[in-house]
Structure 1
Amino acid sequence: MSTESLTMDDAVTKDRVAALARMLQFGDSMFPIGGFSFSSGLESAVQKGVVTDVSTLLAFTRTATEQAARGDGIAVIAAHRAAMVGDVKELICIDESVYARKLSDEARTMSVRMGKKFAEMGVHVLGAPLLHAWRDCILTGQGPGCYPVALAVNFAVQDLSEHHTFAVHQYGVAAPILGAALRLMKVSHLDTQKILYELSEDLDAAYERAAKTRLMDMSGYAPLMDILAAVHIKAHVRLFMN
């Protein structure tokens, strides 16, 4: 093997390692955009006796990730494709579609608050022109600025794949729920890590389905989750946003 080929292989490896590190950075559940302060309805589920142990926590988290894969996950892929070609008008349309499907006030608040923070963080850290354009769209009210679109734009400008973007999005649904569970119920770190690992087995199949689904068919039918969200809004004492 020549020295030149070794150098090229080393360069490719470094690129892959850098991409992985950045995916981990921007996909971290503790990334400072406020995601850790939301429970996605788990607080109400625990209070109402819907989630009581490890098995019901697994079922609840699986439902949340499946709902996300049929909803925001489709938007993430569509937005990533639009961002790759710099189509800001399409990004705005996708953004509005995501916002329109948020049934509760807190779901909308969560998505736009995290989306705006993510866009601002991307501008500060990466400074890519498309991120500036998307942040300006949010600030001028051209789009609500939902989190799935901000995530897609951020990953697209870094040339991270739509498959990885989808995986990070789904991880970002599950991890905060399980983090909240540690503070809301009798469950251990061992239990939550096992759940997170088990849920990752579904990612490839979920991506394949979402990648073939049209944006107009984006939906997430999980009525109990919406009922719990409504209950949570009226609660007098809350540890988390919903």
Structure 2
Amino acid sequence: MGDHAETTALLRLVTWLSPAFPIGAFSYSGGIEQAVHDGLIRDAPGLTAWLRVLIVHGSGWNDAVLLAESYRFHGNAERLEGVRELAEAMAGSYERHRETTLQGEAFLTAAMPWMTIPHAGLAGAVAYPVAVGAVAGLCSTRLEPALAAYLHATVSNLVSVAIRCGVTGQKDGVAVLAALEPSIADSAARAASSTLDDLGSASILADISALRHETLHSRLFRS
């Protein structure tokens, strides 16, 4: 890939995974709101540890594996459909299902100006990482940068959630992002050579928080 093509690919990733891209990411907390309510996340160090687990061992890691698979097989309708179905089935709660599929569908709609194939050949409920992977593959952004950008966007949104929940301020929030850079880079590199056999998580408290949020009485977020 030449310098111009690499710059174009970078610009696309920055645009697609910007907080301004209209997928409604700001309205989801991925269970962070419940974890704050339960006292599981109290400060910036606790937030850093929580997010590191997500992207190394939890839902963030699984999303990265699914993104990588959909990137590689974006041109194979049968394989891509299998990834789409698997990603939907892996949504472990009602809110998690809505969070990933509504963002996925919104992403495909918003990304139409870059797509030569309507909806990248996807139909039905499409999980967010599958949508991003298919479009990134279609546009040849390179896999590892797409994974890094996706994981960074994920933790950036969750840091914003924590700020709005009063766990940390903006200055410490930026420090959390800086502290997570090595974990993001490592997970992106590992996911770039992953297969579906590498799916699996060990973020039990985060998963329980996502489930408990469904009955949280007073809430700011949809998950």
TM-score category of the 2 structures, normalised to the smaller one: over 0.9
Structure 1: runs of 5 or more not aligned: 1-10, 139-143
> Which residue in the other structure is 2:181 paired with?
200
SS in 1 for 2:162: helix
C-alpha contact 2:24 2:103 (8 A) present in aligned 1 = yes
C-alpha contact 1:130 1:157 (8 A) present in aligned 2 = no
Structure 2: runs of 5 or more not aligned: none
> Which residue in the other structure is 2:216 paired with?
235
State the shift of 1:171 in Å: 1.3
| More deviation, 177-186/201-210 | 201-210
* Residue type of the alignment partner of 1:133: G
- The 2-side partners of 1:78 and 1:133 are apart by 15
- The 1-side partners of 2:105 and 2:175 are apart by 32
Q: State the aligned residue count.
A: 222
- The 1-side partners of 2:33 and 2:196 are apart by 30
- The 2-side partners of 1:78 and 1:50 are apart by 33
Q: TM-score normalised to the size of structure 1?
A: 0.85
- The 1-side partners of 2:3 and 2:90 are apart by 41
2:119 pairs with one of 110, 131, 134? 131
- The 2-side partners of 1:213 and 1:14 are apart by 28
- The 1-side partners of 2:6 and 2:207 are apart by 40
Q: TM-score normalised to the size of structure 2?
A: 0.92
State the shift of 1:38 in Å: 0.6
- Pairwise mapping of residues 7-18 of structure 1 onto structure 2 (< 5 A)? 12-18=2-8
* Residue type of the alignment partner of 1:238: R
CA RMSD of aligned residues (A): 1.8
- The 2-side partners of 1:206 and 1:133 are apart by 27
> Which residue in the other structure is 1:88 paired with?
77
> Which residue in the other structure is 1:104 paired with?
93
- The 2-side partners of 1:130 and 1:93 are apart by 18
Relative to 1, partners in 2 of residues 1:186 and 1:228: Cα closer, same or farther, differing over 3 Å?
Answer: closer
Are 1:57 and 2:53 matched, yes or no? no
1:76 pairs with one of 59, 67, 90? 67
- The 1-side partners of 2:120 and 2:80 are apart by 13
SS in 1 for 2:40: coil
Are 1:177 and 2:192 matched, yes or no? no
* Residue type of the alignment partner of 1:51: I
> Which residue in the other structure is 1:150 paired with?
131
> Which residue in the other structure is 2:32 paired with?
42
State the shift of 1:165 in Å: 1.5
What are the superposed Cα offsets for residues 132-179 of structure 1, whole Å, 9 maximum, x if unpaired?
532xx22xxxxx211111101111122101101111221122011101
C-alpha contact 1:68 1:173 (8 A) present in aligned 2 = no
C-alpha contact 1:112 1:147 (8 A) present in aligned 2 = yes
Relative to 1, partners in 2 of residues 1:23 and 1:58: Cα closer, same or farther, differing over 3 Å?
Answer: same
Relative to 1, partners in 2 of residues 1:186 and 1:71: Cα closer, same or farther, differing over 3 Å?
Answer: closer
- The 1-side partners of 2:60 and 2:127 are apart by 16
State the shift of 1:12 in Å: 4.1
> Which residue in the other structure is 1:188 paired with?
169
* Residue type of the alignment partner of 2:65: I
Identity %: 24
- The 1-side partners of 2:118 and 2:69 are apart by 16
SS in 1 for 2:73: helix
